[in-house]
Chains A and B, each alone.
Chain A
């Protein structure tokens, strides 16, 4: 489904290499966790998968469902089913959350050559999904993420995921800024989206999120490349011992 080979990336503004040869294969139905110390390039990897400007890729490739996506615009990738849940969801005053969701939903439908949905049918769909995720209908009436608490913002990300039904979900530190209860709720939302047709990549610093979202494979990223991969036990080892063992092995 997703195949990343020898991916290198440079932050254009600072001419600084961030990714230095990332290799990753993700199959439908799998949940991967990517862990790693601060500054190892985890978020950059998520940005490059989703198509953010400002990075140069001098080497390597990303294919999604056998198509090279590196040259595609973010919206084209979204139409193919790629979704990034942001670490810091952007506040957009003046743009209603519901309008935003419907525009996104219909844009993706249109790009896929499918029929757009009426406003009333969409309202029903969103209300149902919001209820399942325990999201207050008030959040739908407010501007996108504007004045939302940390937990509300992250739940809004999961709501978008539930509505847009992507085939690849990348969750960039979805647990950051959440209290235990909110993390549980968000995790339940993610788990509800697990399916044999959908892959999920969870980027996190801490093992505790993985207690709620059980990964199939855990990767450790250090200094721009994946240095170790293993089962769920790897995350527990990191929780107990930190990254020092892995770093010393590398040295």
Chain B
């Protein structure tokens, strides 16, 4: 049940559908606090994002932006930006550019039924901060969006609006979680034959509490691939809400979490197939230690008539101690009769035979556990389109696993 509060937003309460495993209370506080304080931020314009040091992309071509609470830093002389990308800050653009008005609040609103998402609505209505990004052609180099130190220590509402034109291609890498709390929404429209590859690396701040939504509309023969890597923060909820109205549309969402101690990370995914021949994949793996909690809630929804849909969902956790837990709610909701959909969820400890095998070759117990955990997680990296990015994540993932053991 949802309760009407004085602001008119029916924020969920503990125990509501899809809020049984993660408590929403903290996100209500973060959202309201952020709304009150977002105009009072001090700007620290030159400081780089915290996570860039953790994530080494040196040596590869890239287009870089640093988003601060009311400023966007980038190299204005970069010709790649003027030729293929249109961009700006949400608070400056909104109401002045029709393409933004076609997306902002619209993509999210399309899918408020059957499950309303008041946090996302609240963010969209109140956020003054965010990047508007329009890919108009094929952009070869990844676009790196780092969240700057200006977000550190505060609560924020961030609303990014992303458009990928017909036939265009965009790889967006979002880096950092410097805030103490965030309610963030990405609204994405991938137009026919467009390709949007998205990577989120929310690592580096062990105090962050993050509620992140990605709403996407994926049109005919278009493709969305989104991978997220979450580090050891006390509370994270990562929502993907994707609709595939076009025929032959494709959505892959995947993620990795490494958690140790009193932390909770929740991936909640809702994919709605509305066209013919759609494909979707959900692949999530978590390594949990010292009482950490991992949550996965995933649904594949197939509309009546969305024949030949191919949906796949798999969530897996490796529990390194007896106190850690993995809470899952895998769902299929299918109203078409000629589809192929599957879901699976597994939860287990380190395989003793593998552990013994590695140790018998001279590898210490801790290092062997680390290798096996890393091996378990690395398979998810196959979901990422760019090999360069996969390679660049290896060291970061190794550090994360070693820190958790």
- Which residues on A are within 8 Å of B, measured CB to CB? 50-53, 73-75, 77-79, 83-84, 86, 89-90, 92-95, 99-100, 103-105, 107-108, 111, 143, 160, 164
**Min CB distance, B398 to chain A, in Å?**
10
Interface residues of B in 354-374 (CB under 8 A from A): 354, 356-365, 367, 371-372, 374
**B82 at interface, CB cutoff 8 A:** no
Quick check: A95 and B362 within 8 Å, CB to CB?
Answer: no
Q: Which of B365, B375, B378 contacts A75 (CB 8 A)?
A: B365
**Which 7 interchain pairs have the tightest Cβ spacing?**
A94-B375, A78-B362, A104-B361, A95-B375, A108-B362, A74-B359, A90-B357
Partner pick for A100 among B351, B356, B371, CB 8 A cutoff: B371
Q: Which residue of B lies closest to A103 (CB)?
A: B363
- The reply on B93 being an interface residue by CB < 8 A is no
Contact B359 A95 (CB under 8 A): no
Please measure, in the bound complex, the distance between the C-alpha atom of A53 and the C-alpha atom of B356, giving whole angstroms.
8
For A111, give its contact among B362, B371, B374, B375 (CB under 8 Å): B362
**CB–CB B361/A90 < 8 A:** no
A143 to B376, CA, bound (A): 11
Contact A95 B364 (CB under 8 A): no
Q: Shortest distance in angstroms between B349's beta carbon and chain A's nearest beta carbon?
A: 14
How far in angstroms is the closest Cβ of chain B from A82?
8
| C-alpha spacing A84/B362, complex, angstroms | 11
B116-132: which residues lie under 8 A (CB-CB) from chain A? none
Would you call B224 an interface residue if the criterion is a C-beta within 8 Å of the partner chain's C-beta atoms? no
* Min distance, Cβ A109 to any Cβ of chain B, angstroms: 9
Nearest CB of chain A from residue B276's CB, rounded to whole Å? 34
Chain B nearest CB: distance from A105 CB in Å? 8
Complex CA gap A105/B358 in Å reads 11
Task: List chain A residues, Cβ under 8 A from B379.
Answer: 93-94
Which residues of chain A are near B367, meaning CB under 8 Å? 103, 107
| Residues of chain B at interface, number, CB under 8 A | 23
A92→B362 contact, CB < 8 A: no
The answer to whether residues A95 and B360 also contact, given A53-B352, A90-B353, A107-B367 and a CB cut-off of 8 A, is no
B377 within 8 A of A: yes
Q: Are A90 and B354 in contact (CB under 8 A)?
A: yes
Measured between C-beta atoms, what is the minimum distance from B369 to chain A in Å? 12
- Residues in A with CB closer than 8 Å to B363 are 75, 103-104, 107
CA distance A111 to B361 in the complex (A): 12
Q: How far is the CA of A103 from the CA of B368 in the complex (A)?
A: 9
Residues on A with beta carbons closer than 8 Å to the beta carbon of B353: 90
Q: Complex Cα distance A39/B360, Å?
A: 23
A77–B363 CA distance with the chains assembled, in angstroms = 11
Contact B374 A95 (CB under 8 A): yes
On whether the beta carbons of A164 and B361 are closer than 8 Å, the reply is yes
Q: Do residues A51 and B360 form an inter-chain contact, with CB atoms below 8 A?
A: yes
- Shortest distance in angstroms between A102's beta carbon and chain B's nearest beta carbon? 11
Q: In chain A, what residue has the closest Cβ to B375?
A: A94
6 contacts between A and B (CB under 8 A): A53-B356, A78-B359, A92-B354, A95-B371, A95-B374, A111-B362
Please give, as numbers and ranges, the residues of chain A lying within 8 Å of B362 by CB-CB distance: 75, 78-79, 104-105, 107-108, 111, 164
Per the bound structure, the CA–CA distance linking A111 and B359 in Å amounts to 13
**B355 CB, min distance to chain A CBs, angstroms:** 9
Q: Are B352 and A92 in contact (CB under 8 A)?
A: no
Name the A residues within 8 Å of B378 (CB-CB): 94
Report chain B residues within 8 Å CB of A160. 361
A95 to B370, CA, bound (A): 10
Chain A proximity of B304: nearest CB distance (Å): 39
Roughly how many angstroms separate A158 CA and B133 CA in the complex, as a whole number?
55
How far is it, in angstroms, between the C-alpha of A75 and the C-alpha of B359 when the chains are bound?
5
Residues of chain B contacted by A92 (CB below 8 angstroms): 354, 357-358, 372, 375
Per the bound structure, the CA–CA distance linking A51 and B361 in Å amounts to 11
Q: Give the residues in chain B near A99, CB-CB below 8 Å.
A: 371
**Of listed B351, B357, B364, B377, residue having the most chain A CB within 10 A:** B357
Distance between Cα atoms of A143 and B374 in the complex (Å): 12
